[in-house]
Structure 1
């Protein structure tokens, strides 16, 4: 299973999320099967619109799972750590969403107001 994990600021647009997920898929050579996002962004209109555009199921990741995944996230953001208390959001969402045996296929990409990473249980 391949999971695209995303993080985004309040100024993000759905088109930004979609474009960055597509870029990550292109770099990985694999399509995402699930979009994972932090549960504290559940009500964001841009997330719901992106899910609809991408045609992917949404997996919301809770703070405890995001925190547990931090040790496996090579990219840490001081800004994210200050704003949400976690140094990695996109990578943590991807890893937590893809399960215990997953690894990063594409480390965090950043474009505009969005970050994205891909994780999966591929060899």
Structure 2
């Protein structure tokens, strides 16, 4: 199971999310993972509907327990993990998850995406 984890700002657009995913240059994901407080933002809902991909909301508590290769200070202070995209992908991919890519940033710097492979979603 391949999961694309996303982190994004409130001003992110469908194009931002599309671009962040494209930057990973990886395989088509089976699911998208996103912080549960952002799972219903209009841009993300439209993006997931456009690609007909399952969405896995990830709780704030689950994010805080994940160590990530990327360590963004601002994100660490706000979310308790170094990379929201990496943490979401790892959590949603299951207990034996491994990152395929670290986070990649959209050209407009509004969204990040990381890919993980694992045993569940």
Q: TM-score, normalised by structure 1?
A: 0.87
2:69 is aligned, of 46, 70, 74, to 74
Q: Matched residues in 2 for 1:106 and 1:98: separation?
A: 13
**1:52 and 2:32 correspond:** no
Report Cα offsets for 1:56-100 as digits up to 9, x if no partner. 01100001111122x2x1001112234444322000000001001
RMSD: 1.5
**How far does residue 43 in structure 1 lie from its aligned partner after superposition?**
2.6
Answer yes or no: is the 8 Å Cα contact 1:80–1:86 preserved in 2.
Answer: yes
When the two structures are aligned, how many residues end up with a matched partner? 117
After superposition, where does 1:35-114 map in structure 2 within 5 Å? 35-69=32-66, 71=67, 73-111=68-106, 112-114=109-111
Q: Matched residues in 1 for 2:11 and 2:79: separation?
A: 15
Q: Matched residues in 1 for 2:54 and 2:83: separation?
A: 22
**5+ residue gaps, structure 2:** none
Q: Cα–Cα, structure 1 residues 84 and 68, in superposed 2: closer, same or farther, change >3 Å?
A: closer
After TM superposition, the runs of 4+ consecutive aligned structure 1 residues lying more than 4 A away are none
Q: TM-score, normalised by structure 2?
A: 0.88
